[in-house]
A and B are shown apart, each in its own frame.
Chain A
Amino acid sequence: GAVVSQHPSWVICKSGTSVKIECRSLDFQATTMFWYRQFPKQSLMLMATSNEGSKATYEQGVEKDKFLINHASLTLSTLTVTSAHPEDSSFYICSARDSSRGSGNTIYFGEGSWLTVV
């Protein structure tokens, strides 16, 4: 079946540095990808909608300049956490919509990426 891959699965970075998380759809093209973050014991919170070839659409309260999203190809979206701080430590998950014919527009999730900022 369709697979969405995230990399890295775990990352530790120093406060003030930037870290990039990749989300790839491995066997389908995804014009739309979504980025979520999850705090412990809380729900997945939608951060932004990533559209191939255009600017991402951010949810209210999400800082565009802090969470840079790039969707340069139909199989890759990246989330860059800039000038990371300990409060950015979280579980980040991407999802991708399979919009091909017959797919039913199913949404597939990546495995998630744990970010720890020290």
Chain B
Amino acid sequence: DQQVKQNSPSLSVQEGRISILNCDYTNSMFDYFLWYKKYPAEGPTFLISISSIKDKNEDGRFTVFLNKSAKHLSLHIVPSQPGDSAVYFCAASGSGTYKYIFGTGTRLKVLA
């Protein structure tokens, strides 16, 4: 049972436009969420996080939105840059365990 889902395996966006990556989860006990970026054959790089007490967190070009009632979070990248091209994973944990469950990833391609 996939508790964290990223239903779009890939996304292409033009440089300068907004990239929106979506993530859904099923476990209502999750209270902390992360987005990671991963290049091939490398470990994930932390991007941004959000706790369940917030509905938005912003860091530079990256903003994460959390809709607890819908069990949905999204990552907005604006403006998108070619260097943003990578696989993006959302991850969730609950109850202070720090055990993160990852989504299947969305491959973002930013076109120059």
Contact = CB atoms under 8 A, between A and B. Distances in A.
Interface of A: 4, 6, 32, 34, 36, 42-46, 49, 91, 93, 95, 97, 104-112, 114
Nearest to A93: B43
B104 A108 contact: no
Contacts, number: 48
A103 to B, nearest CB: 12
Contact of A106 (B41, B42, B46, B101): B46
Contacts of A109: 36, 43-46
Main secondary structure of the interface of A (DSSP, over half): strand
B4 to A, nearest CB: 8
A45 B99 CA distance: 11
The contact size tier of chain B is: 10 to 19
B103 A46 contact: no
Contact of B98 (A6, A97, A111, A114): A97
B34 interface: yes
Given A44-B89, A97-B98, A105-B98, A111 B103 contact: no
Contacts of A32: 98
A44, A95, A97, A105 pick with most chain B CB within 10 angstroms: A44
Interface in B83-112: 89, 98-105
Contacts of B42: 111-112
A47 to B, nearest CB: 11
Contact of B103 (A4, A43, A106, A112): A43
